[in-house]
Amino acid sequence: MRGEHSKVWWKEVKRISGMSTGTGDLVSKIKVDNVEVLPAIKIANIINKAFLDPLQEYRLPHPL
């Protein structure tokens, strides 16, 4: 059941963002200069950093 929820979630993310649900290369949809020459792991790390950086503002200075 978990996989089905993921599938529905991603379908909704794609719908909201205006991405085509058809086949295609996701890298071509990323609007970053020279992204097509970067290795996949570098692209993944850049995306991960973009999501995680704003969360640093909410990090506690000391553990509870």
What residue spans define the domains of the chain? 25-64
Compute, in degrees rounded to 10, the torsion defined by CA atoms 6, 43, 48, 17: -50
pLDDT tens by residue, 9-62:
888 888 778 775 555 666 777 777 777 788 889 888 988 998 898 888 888 888
What is residue 34's predicted lDDT score, i.e. its pLDDT? 77
Write down the pTM of the prediction.
0.47
